[in-house]
Amino acid sequence: MEFKRKNIISIAELSADEILHILDTASSMKEVTSRNMKKVPTLKGITVVNLFFEPSTRTRSSFEIAEKRLSADILNFTSSQSSVVKGESLSDTAKNLESMGASIIVIRHPMSGAPWVLARETSASIINAGDGRHEHPSQSLLDLFTIRQVKGKIENLNVLIVGDILNSRVARSNINGLLKLGAKVKLVGPGSLVPDYFEQPGVKIFYNLEKALEDVDVIIMLRVQKERKSLEYFPSIREYSRFYGLTGENLKIAKNDVTIMHPGPINRGVEMTSEVADDSRSVILEQVTNGIAVRMAMLYLTASWRSNNL
Amino acid sequence: MEFKRKNIISIAELSADEILHILDTASSMKEVTSRNMKKVPTLKGITVVNLFFEPSTRTRSSFEIAEKRLSADILNFTSSQSSVVKGESLSDTAKNLESMGASIIVIRHPMSGAPWVLARETSASIINAGDGRHEHPSQSLLDLFTIRQVKGKIENLNVLIVGDILNSRVARSNINGLLKLGAKVKLVGPGSLVPDYFEQPGVKIFYNLEKALEDVDVIIMLRVQKERKSLEYFPSIREYSRFYGLTGENLKIAKNDVTIMHPGPINRGVEMTSEVADDSRSVILEQVTNGIAVRMAMLYLTASWRSNNL
Amino acid sequence: MEFKRKNIISIAELSADEILHILDTASSMKEVTSRNMKKVPTLKGITVVNLFFEPSTRTRSSFEIAEKRLSADILNFTSSQSSVVKGESLSDTAKNLESMGASIIVIRHPMSGAPWVLARETSASIINAGDGRHEHPSQSLLDLFTIRQVKGKIENLNVLIVGDILNSRVARSNINGLLKLGAKVKLVGPGSLVPDYFEQPGVKIFYNLEKALEDVDVIIMLRVQKERKSLEYFPSIREYSRFYGLTGENLKIAKNDVTIMHPGPINRGVEMTSEVADDSRSVILEQVTNGIAVRMAMLYLTASWRSNNL
């Protein structure tokens, strides 16, 4: 199968087959990263720009490692350094990076839709590393990859997403991806953070964690973003944690072999107790490992498209 | 022809032949960067330090990409990180970098003459990426390269430089380079920003943009540096833009096939309207592309000197 | 001889034989760095993380150059960027980096003991680049390497360490290393900065520099850390310099062929006059050069352990 996209910007635009194609490619990449010599020359001589308008350690590092394993030439722009870039319009930045020879631009931006602006204005391939509250496709793909690895399938699984759905691009991308691959999705959180409009075929909304946990195969906890919006919507972290934190106790309500996921970094004692974070059913660190393989696949497939089509 | 310099610090010190040698080398480099595999092993195992005491996204990125295409080992010091370096004298920093094995140091510094201090104190090769109001040779070389590419020659062209000449190292380097290659130079800007002492054989000063535009082959717009000195010298950006901004209207005064240049990033609506920036005669993005090739040439030639002479 | 350690965290834990083994390996590495092509593929495909929770230009750069000469894939976390990392516990950070595929973590941390926490929580190899007031093994190893190079031996030398012993991890590591290799150590500084408890077999404390300089083979000056604790313990830099600064005059008291060392960067006029810093017996820049070789050796030996034992 040939990958037919110049850009990977959202899960919404991908078909189920395309998602599975990325996951299968990631499996091959994971095999590379488990060798002693974790490096292939696939992107040698290709310039990849990491253009991060929001602070990010984890996602940026994961992409950077993925790029290095593919032997790309890497240029990093982080929000603090890119003062000049910020003075320009996004469109001018895109054209300038293209003129410098950038083939792939990995962008994170606080504005939903920014990757589309970039994609429209440049012939470079755009990979979305998170835009506003909109999508975070690489996180979702690594979550789907991890679920498939642990459960052997995604279809017909009951997946519960817990927390600040409203402000979460991880939630939006995962709802899209899970539905496309045939899973059933439950959302739970405070009413102010789980608006009605998320209800759709295949998605059920809950406000009570215990109730939502019944018959669940996979739990995806969202991060409480102390530095961001979440706190405007509920009284205190303590209260949040009391009602929506995962504990050894409420975890018993879910299926016995439930899989526990979190995009990291965990606020221990907030989204979940340390007991849960370190439970044998928690695959949080496996998600981190898979993140490298999935991002290698995203880079590899867009680069393949370029060498086939340009 | 053999390049006979350990350092490239100013256009003033280069002969016309040396400038042309760099431009010819840049042509070969441009050929490399237009391949799919944009990388050659020329600087493999050579340590290049980017020592930037002023914030810079554009020039630093361009040098970094150039270094990566030549397979150098790169060490970046930006003003924010180099607090320790700043505590030392420039001379001690130079000697330390040399002791660490740096072969080439690319320096940007707010103090005119800083690259000479470095060159005197170390056996590493020094490339000036902009020193104070003094010189910015890599920008000038890429401007000359671009003019030659578009016009087929530089000799006898009428080149107009517009804006804050007083504070511009780009202007100083370009005046030097254009005169050496036989062009005629016009300068235009507010009286406070174009002092009399720039007048010399081959250079004419104007204060009226319309008048200056007559019979012009190439226009080099200087950036209005909102963050720097420029604004101390004229009442407001609005007024500047009204009198010295390039528009579809006043552009008609120049030759029909006039070439429009700008070192970037453009302040659209200030130095020029968007119409002009995106005009087919604007080569601003071509300048960005050529910047990589020219900087590769500068690195390559200094490295060649080192392997021939050390 | 086979290196038997996963981590290099302190000089205290190394045997004399292990120290000598590292120094001998550094000699081979120095031979590599003196070639035109200063690069070997030893760490190709190995991910090394530089995790710096304290600002550092010099040590970080030295490690980074060492890693590049060994062809490692490098990921840098500096204190300013690692805001997210800092939100996590050190243990979670360690596990995450391991999950991303980091094989070696070079850590600098303001908390004494932090490298042990990391080592306990991850299967990655930990190299201590300085922890609190505790140890700075790479600095000590490069000091020992330099002494051996200049003097031909370390045994029975009289080595004087001058300055803020109390707050110096360089002093602690050097006292450990020098004693293990059979040198005799003198310490001198203001009473408030050289506490009694440093006295032990082989170590003598002085409060008068002139007296301490008698019969000395090697002088290791400590940096007065204006930005850190040192200044809380004595009235002024001027006074410190007057009593504990090395000058052309008091240097005459030491042996004629005394070797002068400083970890850098020097505060000229504080720890020593410029005359002394630039004296032919000063090996301060040689220390910088040796730092690369010693750090290459540390990386090489831990990587060897990994390929032999994992």
The CATH number of whichever domain residue C129 belongs to comes to: 3.40.50.1370
- ipTM tops the 0.90 cut: yes
- Please state the domain count of chain C: 2
Closest-CA distance of chain B to residue C67, Å:
10
Distance from CA of C154 to the nearest CA of A (A): 39
Residue to mutate among C61, C82, C261, with most B CBs inside 10 A, is: C61
Residue B5 in any domain: the answer is no
By C-alpha distance, the chain C residue nearest B303 is: C36
Chain B: nearest CA to C287, how far in angstroms? 9
Average pLDDT, chain A: 93
- Nearest 5°: phi and psi at A69? -65, -25
Nearest-CB residue to B285 (from A44, A45, A99): A99
Separation in Å, CA of A86 to nearest CA in chain B:
10
Q: How far is CA B264 from the centre of its chain?
A: 11
**Co-location of B141 and B279 in the same domain:** yes
Judgement on whether residues C90 and C148 belong to the same structural domain of the protein: no
**Residue B228 confidence (pLDDT):** 59
Within-domain flag for B214: yes
Residue among A181, A174, A127 nearest A19 (CA): A181
Residue A10 lies inside a defined structural domain of this protein: no
Per the CB < 8 A criterion, the answer to whether B74 and B67 are in contact is yes
Residue A212 to residue A214: CA distance in whole angstroms? 6
pLDDT computed for residue B264 by the predictor: 92
C177/C284 same-domain check: yes
Mark whether A55 and A125 lie in a shared domain.
yes
CA dist B1 to A58, B25, B33, B40, B222, Å? Answer: 50, 11, 23, 21, 34
pTM: 0.94
pLDDT tens-place string over residues C242-259:
999 999 999 999 999 999
B7 falls within a domain: no
Q: Considering only CB atoms, which residues of chain C are within 8 Å of chain A?
A: 44-47, 73, 75, 77, 80-85, 87-89, 92, 95-96, 98-101, 307
Q: Is residue B2 part of a domain?
A: no
Burial (0-12, 13-18, 19+ Cβ within 10 Å), A235: exposed
Q: What is the band of C21 on the pLDDT scale with cuts at 50, 70, 90? A: very high
Do B234 and B269 fall into the same domain? yes
In chain A, which residues have their Cβ closer than 8 Å to the Cβ of C85? 57, 265
Verify that A110 and A156 share a domain, yes or no. no
Is there a single domain that holds both residue A97 and residue A170? Answer: no
- Considering CB atoms only, which of B58, B65, B80 is closest to A84? B58
Q: Are A45 and B71 in contact (CB under 8 A)?
A: no
Closest chain B residue to C226, measured at CA: B87
Cα–Cα separations (whole angstroms), residue C26 to A225, A280, A289, B110:
46, 43, 34, 39
CA B95 to chain centre: 27
Cβ distance of B85 and C57 shorter than 8 Å: yes
Q: Are residues B112 and B177 in the same domain?
A: no
Residue C151 confidence (pLDDT) above 60: yes
What domain range includes position C66?
A: 16-136+291-309
Once rounded to an integer, what is the mean pLDDT over residues B33-41? Answer: 87
Q: Which among C39, C68, C266 has the least Cβ separation from residue B92?
A: C266
Inside any domain, residue A161: yes
- Is the domain of B64 the same as that of B201? no
| Contact between chains at C57 and B44 (C-beta distance less than 8 A) | no
Question: Same structural domain for residues A206 and A305?
Answer: no
DSSP per residue, C280-307: TTB-HHHHHHHHHHHHHHHHHHHHHHHH
Tell me whether residue A267 is in a domain.
yes
B245 in the same domain as B154: yes
The residue in chain A having the minimum alpha-carbon distance to the alpha carbon of residue C310 is A36
The shortest C-alpha distance from C121 to chain A (Å) reads: 13
What number of C-beta contacts closer than 8 Å exist between A and C?
70
> What band does A70 get if pLDDT is binned at 50, 70 and 90?
very high
> Which residue in the set C37, C57, C80 is minimally distant from B84, CB to CB?
C57
When pLDDT is averaged across residues C285-308 and rounded to a whole number, the result is: 97
Residues C156 and C276 in one domain: yes
C51 domain residue, yes or no: yes
Q: What is the CA radius of gyration of chain A?
A: 19
If we measure between CA atoms, which residue out of B254, B259, B253 comes closest to residue B283?
B259
Nearest Cβ partner for A57 among C46, C84, C307: C84
Residue B200 has pLDDT above 70, yes or no: yes
Both structure tokens of C148: 């051996």
Whether the predicted pLDDT of B64 surpasses 70: yes
Q: What is the pLDDT of residue A84?
A: 45
